[in-house]
Amino acid sequence: MKRRNFLKNITAGVAVPSLIGGFGVKAYANSPFSPLFNALTTDTDHVLVMIQLSGGNDGLNTVVPIDQYAKLAIGRPEVILPEASILPLTGTNKVGLHPALGGLRELYDEGQLRIVQNVGYPNPNLSHFRATDIWMSGSDSDEYLPSGWAGRYLSYEYPNFPNGYPNNDMPHPLAIEIGSAMSMSLMGTQTGMGFVISNPDEFYNLLAGVQSQAPNTPAGEQLAYVRQIAQQSRTYAQTIVNASGTVTQQQTYPETELAAKLKIVARLIAGGLKTRMYVVNIDGFDTHDSQVDPDNHTIGEHANLLQELGDAIRAFTKDLKFLGIDDRVSGMTFSEFGRRIVSNFSGGTDHGEAAPMFLFGKPIAGGITGKNPLIPSNPTEYDNLDMEFDFRSVYGTILRDWFCVPETDVPDILLHDHAYLDLYQSNISCISTATHQANQSAGRSLLDCSPNPFTTNLQIVYRTDGGPTTVQILDASGKVIATPAHGIMGRGEYMVSFSGSSLPAGTYFCRVLNGMQHQTKTVVKVGNN
Amino acid sequence: MSHKDRRSFLMPHRRPKQDQIRLTGQLAIEQPAMLQRVAALEAARAAAPPNSGLTPYSGPWTRTETIHLLRRCLFGATAADVHYFSALTLDQAVDQLLDTTYTPPAPPVNDYNGADVTDPDIAFGDTWIDAFYNIDVEGYRIESLRGWWLRRMMTSERNIREKMVLFWHNHIPVLFAEVFSGVLLYRYQNTLRENALGNFKDLTRAITIDPAMLFFLNGNANSVFAPDENYAREIQELFVIGKDLPQHYTEDDVKAAARLLTGWRIGTDFNTYFDPNQHDKQDKQFSSFYGNRLIKGKAGVAGGATELDEFLDMLFDHPEAARFVCRKLYRFFVYHNIDAQTEQNVIEPLAQIFRDNNYDIVPVLSALLKSEHFFDQLNRGAVIKSPIDQVVGFYRQMGVTFPGAADLTDTLYLSYVTNFVLAEMLQTPGDPPNVAGWQAYYQQPVYDKLWINSSTLPRRGQINEFLVFVGLYGANNVAKADVLAFTESLNNPGDPDLMLAEVHELLLGLPVASSVVNYHKAVLLSNLPSAYYWTLAWEAYLANPTDPIIRGEVENRLKILYHVIIQTEEYQLA
């Protein structure tokens, strides 16, 4: 039985708690302070940590194809690593790591690191912004998607979010982003699914209750007041502070920004947050020049970045083990693109195409996926690395094997269908069906669309707190294609049916809007066309 | 369907029941800290009060000053507004804002006919402002009017009139849900709009015998046989004299005024007339507060009007009348707290100007808005925006528009949704909590802090988020923040540093720290170090504005950026 079908049966019987009423925000704003929400989770929920390497990481100097060394030396003399400096990996003499990645080599040797070679997508885009959006949304090169892949997964798992959140089943943010600019990957179908801690300082301020200085003027006094209320109404702040406070001992981390962020992530997971995804960022990979020290290619900007990356991940995995949560956490690195084979006279490299990804953590099956890239004999600036694996294969595998999404549902989330890879250990236990069920009905459902998948008619049951209410059908790009119900309505539950017989098969969204509340659910049209 | 049922879809919270309870509960928690802070600030201000007065401001007149002026006089300042006013001198700018040229707007029309209701007398698209009263459609007309008013604010010309309509509505309100006649309410609105920059004494006279007010405060039922003191009290307590002085009007003054105001009635044509038979023709003796003025009782049709004029003369002869209204103007346009220094340096001379000009409004506003006190650093950014100011300002700045005549039904619906949201933020245009107006404009010592509590603050953020990421949907139209047009309207949208400086200046009431600027820059640049990448993307968009991929690339970043900026607390200040 498809999980989705069986969920439908469950949700039909679930009563909407009446106490939420029209004041969802207010009613729940206080509840995180209740003891209920401070209980530590004993859950085995899986957590994904995404590390974004902003700027486009030079894959060829990160995971070095040793068997191509001679051709690389011709193509990129300004940045090539001395062959002897390349860190060998156990079990292969063809692939080595940058000498600054000693931390990752240790992980590899322990079987906790998987390298996926040559990840990309067809017709790569070399603009930072566009390429970042492609990676975060999971779109094709020539397709515009307004939501993020991770956000769509969270919408799938917690379909009622943010209505009636936080709640007992999910008292914590679904995802937390630390020190990154708010990224697109956590955008759900219509709403942001992530909680942003804009920088580690802010996090510590949050813990210490420190507020930044407002000027000593009438305006400053007004500002301080608004901030005080803002602090009180930040729904998740107190739960995060509480979770963090329960962890008193951690392993040592290097004194770098990325390490500081990962240290917070470890602390929050160990502190009991049920948050499923964390996004952190390390920037500076856009190394057009001065990528290496001209006199010693093993040091320089790129080496510093990789050192920070490898050491931080190493410290993080040790800490996860120390905290006893290493079974629950896996991580991945990604960058919007790799860099060119040939180097610049200024000691750097230009934007490129395919590049390797790292997956790390105890649940990961260590090893290497894919082959070394083939470097042309006399590479020119027109030569790029071809993709071997689509990045959405990695996402799909994470969804299927780590978040236990049934394979049939993965394309509904990714909006694309790609092959799967072997990245995780084979003995991964999934979250219990009961937990998944609870996630599905957690919060307040404002609409149910059935049957799902549908072939002709869709029956939409929606709930409004009264006032302006609209029910819409949207296509995968977010465009409204039908408005089955619209008007000023009394509080209550309504039903409307929508005939989708003329629609092409594919993914669609039902959406209800009521004042400032809104909820979107995914439905799939099959057959018939 | 009963009368009650017909009203049930009117804007919620017309009486501050549930929210009032929550607000009170909130205050119980928040007030001690808040009061301490207010006390500390007031002590600090008392130690070093702003010495500035009504001397014309002669300091720098830059974009910063222009924006400060426009924020207070318009709803939000758009880049185009700033550009326009920056080219003028300060005097020219204020004169333009106070321009009294008045072109009456096209009246509201039947935009409500549809599945729910059909007006038997007025065709779709025709105006209903002279329609017969019809209990079955009045509620629809009222929402039609409320939406019309909202759109007057959204499409306001570059002058202060619509801000003054809101000021007067707060100062001398009638409640839409109480009066419950579209025609009367439209006329009341019209009176405010026509007189917004006219003469306060004339406005007071017009409102005193305005049919909506006669209905709202029972003037219509005030008769020699059963005097009703409702309006007689409020005109003294709330509209003209106030209770700021330790000695004020007496209960006998209220009784005398009530008797004086007997006889005004609303005719079947919904116009006011005077019925001498209902009028108390005895003399009216007022207290020493009014210099023991005696107003002789008069008979005949003209008697009531003459007595009313003499009564208004008496009120406006009292020196407190000018002070009282000047204080309210000050709180609305400058800052909520009036200390002794401000009273002496600003209020008193302003009141003198008011009296010297026989209660013409423009000279007072002109002196205030051109003064060094208005531009005093201590007064900048010191106002917490009212919900209307925040929402309408956001609409204007971000180009949120409705289809208008092209789709009346959707226009009404989108207006309704906006007013619905304003109601949730505790400020429904047309329905303040009571005749005293919104508490935030008068409740000592907290004043405009009352707009912000842990229920309203998230909502204030939500509406903007909603408009940026989702949009308000009619059946055929969507009203959304146009982040691209907003960005294009800036002087240097391709340069992240200059662009952010301009956006911060336009959207935030106070400058933000460099760490915040850097964070916002990182958001725009997706953490890339080089500003050049944004420039490139922006130029690509300008060259290919319709390409969905290229457009999406800049639009995604702008949406997130503006979302982040309007979540900063400084956004709540003006």
How many whole angstroms separate alpha carbon A448 and alpha carbon A428? Answer: 32
**Domains A3-436 and A445-525 alike in fold:** no
Identify the three-state secondary structure at position A318. Answer: helix
Using alpha carbons, select from B458, B452, B454 the residue that is nearest to residue B439.
Answer: B452
Q: Which residue has the tokens 């956490």?
A: A329
Q: Which residues of A touch B417 (CB under 8 A)?
A: 467-468, 515
Q: Which residues of A touch B377 (CB under 8 A)?
A: 217
Nearest CA to CA, how far is B248 from chain A (Å)?
31
Nearest CA to CA, how far is B332 from chain A (Å)?
15
Cβ(A117)–Cβ(A396) below 8 Å = no
Q: Which residue of A has its CA nearest to B448?
A: A222
The answer to whether B572 contacts A221, with C-beta atoms less than 8 Å apart, is no
Residues lower than pLDDT 70 in chain A: 1-44, 180-181, 199-213, 528-529
**Pairing verdict, β A47-54 and A277-283:** parallel
Q: Which residues of B touch A281 (CB under 8 A)?
A: 527
State the fold for domain A445-525.
Answer: Immunoglobulin-like (2.60.40)
List the single residue in A216, A488, A516 with the smallest CB-CB distance to B459: A516
List the single residue in B378, B383, B458 with the smallest CB-CB distance to A25: B458
Pick the CATH number of A3-436 from 1.10.3470, 3.40.50, 3.40.720, 1.10.101: 3.40.720
Residues lower than pLDDT 50 in chain B: 1-6, 13-32
Q: Does A126 touch chain B (CB under 8 A)?
A: no
Model confidence, pTM: 0.86
Using alpha carbons, select from A222, A2, A155 the residue that is nearest to residue A511.
Answer: A155
Q: Does A492 touch chain B (CB under 8 A)?
A: no
Say what the pLDDT of residue B519 is.
86
Mutate to test the interface with B, among A133, A193, A225, A488 (most CBs of B within 10 A): A225
How many whole angstroms separate alpha carbon B9 and alpha carbon B388? Answer: 21
Q: Which residue of B has its CA nearest to A483?
A: B475
Say what the pLDDT of residue B41 is.
56
Question: Of chain A residues 357-386, which have a CB less than 8 A from chain B?
Answer: none
The beta-carbon contacts of A34-38 under 8 Å, at least 24 apart in sequence, are A36/A168, A36/A171, A37/A166, A37/A168, A37/A171, A37/A239, A38/A239, A38/A242
Q: Which residues of B touch A192 (CB under 8 A)?
A: 469
List the single residue in B378, B417, B572 with the smallest CB-CB distance to A226: B572
Q: Which residues of B touch A199 (CB under 8 A)?
A: 519
Q: Which residues of A touch B473 (CB under 8 A)?
A: 470, 472, 480, 483, 486, 513
> Which alpha helices (H) appear in A297-390, and where do they start and end?
301-322
Q: Where are the domains of chain A?
A: 3-436, 445-525
Q: Which residues of B touch A258 (CB under 8 A)?
A: none
Nearest CA to CA, how far is A49 from chain B (Å)?
18
Nearest CA to CA, how far is A210 from chain B (Å)?
16
Q: Which residues of A touch B413 (CB under 8 A)?
A: 468, 486, 488
The C-alpha R_g of chain B, in whole angstroms, comes to: 25
How many whole angstroms separate alpha carbon A353 and alpha carbon A333? Answer: 16
Q: Does B470 touch chain A (CB under 8 A)?
A: yes
**Pairing verdict, β A194-197 and A175-178:** parallel
